[in-house]
């Protein structure tokens, strides 16, 4: 149980385009989802926290207009990287939390974004 999927697993796009990444909880309802960014050989940095039906809360230094997060249902959150640039290339990982296991986060497999 507690499986989280991400789609796509890998995406390559041209500079200036927008890219949407989906994060789904497959077998549970995720009241909260988290989005992380990981640069090569570095740790995970929390970008934002989203609760179903409300606006995401962004961490300091994260541009909310560039990284649009939507948590429209209890099983789906999306991260849209708008007007992507090469410096946005990174590994993006989502996680989800359910009320039943409030103190844990279940992680997705990640999405590798490469902006040319």
Partner 1 sequence: AQSVTQPDIHITVSEGASLELRCNYSYGATPYLFWYVQSPGQGLQLLLKYFSGDTLVQGIKGFEAEFKRSQSSFNLRKPSVHWSDAAEYFCAVGARGGGNKLTFGTGTQLKVEL
Helices assigned H by DSSP within 1-116: none
Give the number of other Cβ atoms within 10 Å of residue 59's Cβ.
13
Give the SS3 label for residue 37.
Answer: strand
Contact set for partner 1, span 37-56 (CB under 8 A):
41-46, 49
Give dist(CA 68, CA 84) in Å, integer: 12
Stretch that binds partner 1, among 11-19, 65-73, 77-85, 105-113 (CB under 8 A): 105-113
- The residue from 7, 32, 66, 114 that contacts partner 1 (CB under 8 A) is 32
Q: Which residues are near partner 1 by CB under 8 A?
A: 4, 6, 32, 34, 41-46, 49, 57, 91, 93, 95, 97, 102-105, 107-110, 112
């Amino acid at each position: 149980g507690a499986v989280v999927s991400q789609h796509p697993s890998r995406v390559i796009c041209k500079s200036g385009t927008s890219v949407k990444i989906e994060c789904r909880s497959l077998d549970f309802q995720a009241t909260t989802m988290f989005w992380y960014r990981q640069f090569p050989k570095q740790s995970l940095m929390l970008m934002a926290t989203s609760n179903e039906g409300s606006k995401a809360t962004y961490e300091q230094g994260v541009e909310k207009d560039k990284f649009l997060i939507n948590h429209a249902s209890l099983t789906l959150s999306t991260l849209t990287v708008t007007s992507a640039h090469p410096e946005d290339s990174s590994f993006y990982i989502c996680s989800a939390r359910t009320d039943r296991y409030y103190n844990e986060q279940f992680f997705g497999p990640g999405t590798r974004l490469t902006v040319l």
